[in-house]
A = this chain, B = another copy of it.
Amino acid sequence: VVARSGAEALDRTDPLSAFRDRYVFPDDTIALDGNSLGRLPRDTLTRLERVVERQWAGGLVRSWDDWLDLPRRVGDLIGGALLGAEPGEVIVADSTTVNLHKLAAAALRAGGRDRPVVVTDRGNFPTDRYVLEALGPVRWVDEPGIGALGDDVGLVAFSHVDYRTGAVADLAGITAAAHAAGARVLWDLSHSVGVVPVDLAAHEVDLAVGATYKYLCGGPGSPALAYVRRDLIEVLRSPIPGWFGHRDPFLMGPAYEPADDIRRFLAGTPTVLALACVEEGARVLADAGLEKVREKVMGLTSFAVALADAWLVPLGFTVASPRAARRRGAHVALVHPRAEVVCRALVDVGVVTDFRHPDTLRLGLAPLSTRYVDVWDALDRVRTIGRGLS
């Protein structure tokens, strides 16, 4: 097993170590909740000051000249740097839930009456399951993956990275299989965007949604991304045709005419303050480069798994995440019957993780703000707490 000096050595050779300075650390707390709420980027503070004091208070309504394009501009930044999407294929607006509803409803409607069925897995994130169930009959599978698809299936919808275990689904294989069966595919990228390569264009993914408050560090409840592949855009109509999805919102004409790019999936007025924060958060990842970020993610999670194997498995913990680094997102799940107690005790020793009912402790290792020594120190404290439990 590695001594703390080993972790320090890994940090010294980390090519992304300087990016840590781009986040705010008000105290020594070790935040391993990047899978839930990413750290505050420094640039977000100056950007918010500009948006609030200069643009809102100073520019007043005139600032909409700059704001109007934000949902697409931030979408293009994320789409280009992190998703392999073309300009005009990604927007950031509304919540993941609302975007999922809009895209899934549109795809099912376009698929026609003969294909009303949605395929998803019982372990999918709750909001995904609830929203999909409200749209049509659901064929449940145990985990992301499809066998023989009936020709009544219009939509296949999975999460790219499992919110509990961090397991990466076979996006390429599932997408190809669904297409072969004549169904559309929607991926929820909430736990992969920014930490796992997602080449939407290369795999001809139809639809995607995802949260921006996790690894993209957009802040609590920041608006979500929505992606539709270019050639599908004009085939699909949003079930919520709001004025911001109109080709000219300020024409205010009698008939709804959808925008000719992904903006047709905008609904109401976008939340400017939160969108500006998403732009700043995403830019830090874009500056670092997804390839290096992915290397760091695999390095951090592998380090956490190795320490867990050595220190925590003997104490009754189980590593619930995949063993192969390439098959993991950026969080590591540790299962223990008393995980909730451990999660609470960790807060008292300065480590913030999160707990998922009934027995899972998640360590979200945001690649740019987490050091190897943070992982070492955190797991060392889990070990101390674990010893006290047995």
Residues of B within 8 A of A213 (CB): 269
Q: Is the C-beta of A57 less than 8 angstroms from some C-beta in chain B? A: yes
CB distance from A159 to the nearest CB of B (A): 13
B62 engages A40 (CB within 8 Å): no
Whether the Cβ atoms of A31 and B52 lie closer than 8 Å is: no
**CB pair B48 A60 closer than 8 Å:** no
Complex CA gap A162/B270 in Å reads: 22
- Whether, in the assembled complex, A253 has its beta carbon less than 8 Å from a beta carbon of chain B, the answer is yes
Say whether, besides A61-B352, A130-B241, A134-B240, A221 and B48 are in contact (CB < 8 Å): no
What residue in chain B is nearest A95 (Cβ atoms)?
B268
* CB atoms of B251 and A122 under 8 A apart: no
Q: Check B61–A252 contact: CB distance below 8 A.
A: no
Query: Least Cβ distance of A163 to chain B in Å?
Result: 9
Complex Cα spacing A277 to B55, Å: 15
Q: Is the CB of B60 within 8 A of A29?
A: yes
- B268 touching A96, Cβ below 8 Å: yes
In the complex, whether A63 has a CB less than 8 A from a CB of chain B is yes
A55 to B240, CA, bound (A): 33
Within 8 A of B (CB), among A228-258: 239-244, 246, 249-254, 256
Q: Is the CB of B273 within 8 A of A219?
A: yes
Q: Are A52 and B61 in contact (CB under 8 A)?
A: no
Contact (Cβ within 8 A) B126 A253: yes
Contact A95–B95 (Cβ < 8 Å): no
Residue in B57, B62, B267 whose beta carbon sits within 8 Å of that of A95 in the complex: B267
Given contacts A39-B60, A95-B267, A96-B269, 4 further A-B contacts (CB under 8 A): A44-B52, A52-B219, A97-B244, A101-B239
Pick 22 A–B contacts, CB within 8 A, sort by A.
Answer: A29-B58, A40-B52, A62-B352, A94-B95, A94-B98, A97-B240, A97-B269, A98-B240, A98-B242, A101-B239, A126-B246, A126-B253, A129-B254, A129-B256, A130-B242, A130-B246, A131-B240, A221-B268, A221-B272, A222-B273, A223-B271, A274-B274
